Amino acid sequence: MKIYFCCTDFKAEPWVAALRAALPQAEIEVWAPGAGPADYAVVWAPPQAFLDEQPQIKALFNLGAGVDALTQLRLPAQTKLVRLDDAGMSVQMAEYVCHALIRHFREFDAYAADVAQGKWSYRKPRLREDFPVGIMGLGVLGQRVARAVQAFEFPLRGWSRSPKELPGVRCYAGEEQLAEFLAETKVLVCLLPLTGQTQGILNRETLAQLQPGGYLINVARGAHLVEEDLIPLLDGGHLAGATLDVFRQEPLPAGHPFWRHPKITITPHTSARTLRDESVAQIAGKILALERGEPIGGVVDHHQGY
């Protein structure tokens, strides 16, 4: 069995070593143009040339949960596209979202600013019932975040493509219930996959439907947000702030207004990192299952794009 590693932005050596340790029976190499056919590949944003050379490949294992960099490419027709299914990401996402939510709700930035000026001052406690949290995307990550937010007793809403029933979450589904979901939300968390349906979904019209004083936490993909729509809503006061982990262009270009806007907190696409041990164990387990002819989870629906 031959497996290629073809991942931009990842240091190949430790990954190849970990894959070889997990699958000693396999021949595992870093792909180079003209390297010949393989059975499987571990990929992240591979070049089109790689896919064009591998029409026979049985499955592509994406080193992330989001497959949007792959679905933009021409994929071999019969190849399974498999995304990371949690692999240690959901707890990181829960930490990140709860941190951003609580930092905003408890006004920790304002306290830090006071302390920096030597001020010992109190703010009026806020009511958590005034801060309903709405999670767009109730998949692997969205549901884990929902459980974590619930621990802090915020009112919780969720929105997905297909209807769901989740304990403690008021669930909405489909475009027809989006307006109701937004009107019931003050702190909006985006955990959608980037597809033709979700691109640009965070825009002037949708963000204006959040409750006054709304707050945006985008941890999904930069292209979910129409970036130029955000600042007028912040400056006009309808939105109180935003925490953004992902951007249309990454790294965020020098001079982009998000770097310095006082109501925007940015992080460099780090809310849920791909963890090597967990990812290799998951991918190796799935390759062995496929070799035994067994079904696996995390296979992307080409039609839905996630």
Q: Is 157 in the site for ligand NAP (CB under 6 A)?
A: no
Looking at 43, 46, 64, 171, which residue binds ligand GLV (CB under 6 A)?
Answer: 64
Per-residue contact string for residues 104-123; x = within reach of ligand GLV by CB under 6 A: --------------------
Please say which residue, 142 or 214, places its beta carbon nearer to ligand NAP: 142
Contact status: 65 vs ligand GLV (CB under 6 A): yes
Residues 201-240 as x/- pattern, contact with ligand NAP by CB under 6 A: ------------------xxx-------------------
Among 46, 66, 214, 241, binds ligand NAP (CB under 6 A): 66
Report the distance separating Cα 271 and Cα 258, nearest Å: 17
The structure tokens 């930092």 sit at 103
71 binds ligand NAP (CB under 6 A): no
Which pair of tokens denotes residue 32?
A: 């180079």
Give yes or no for residue 63 binding ligand NAP (CB under 6 A): no
| Residue number with CB closer to ligand NAP (39 or 193) | 193
Contact between 194 and ligand NAP by CB under 6 A: the answer reads yes
How buried is 262 (Cβ within 10 angstroms: 0-12 exposed, 13-18 middle, 19+ buried)?
exposed
Coil, helix or strand at residue 27: strand
**How many binding residues for ligand NAP (CB under 6 A)?**
29
Q: What is the dihedral of CA 65, 68, 72, 75, to 10 degrees?
A: 20
Amino acid at 193: P
Residues in the chain: 306
* Residue 43 touching ligand GLV (CB under 6 A): no
| Position with the least CB separation from ligand GLV | 64
The residue range among 4-12, 155-163, 206-214, 275-283 that interacts with ligand NAP, by the rule CB under 6 A, is: 155-163
Residue 159 to residue 191: CA distance in whole angstroms: 10
Annotated active-site residue in 157, 161, 221, 276: 221
Dig out the tokens for 156 from the structure.
């919780």
Least gap, CB of 33 to ligand NAP (angstroms): 29
Q: Within a 10 A sphere around the Cβ of 179, how many other Cβ atoms?
A: 13
- In the numeric block, the tokens 């990812």 are attached to 279
**Residue ranges in 277-306 that form contacts with ligand NAP under rule CB under 6 A:** 306
The 264-266 sheet, strands edge to edge: 170-173, 156-160, 133-136, 187-190, 214-218, 239-244, 264-266
Query: Catalytic site residue 221?
Result: yes
**Which two structure tokens, joined as six digits, stand for 153?**
């007793």
Q: Which is nearer to ligand GLV, 152 or 258 (CB)?
A: 258
198 binds ligand NAP (CB under 6 A): yes
Q: Closest Cα partner for 53 from 31, 71, 69?
A: 31
224 assigned to active site: no
Contact predicate 214/185, CB 8 Å: yes
Does residue 125 have a cis bond before it (omega within 30 degrees)?
no
Residue 69, H or E segment: helix 68-71
Q: Where do contacts with ligand NAP occur on this chain (CB under 6 A)? A: 65-66, 89, 137-142, 159-162, 191-195, 197-198, 219-221, 245-246, 269, 271-272, 306
Q: Where do contacts with ligand GLV occur on this chain (CB under 6 A)? A: 64-66, 84, 274
Q: Which residues are catalytic?
A: 221, 269
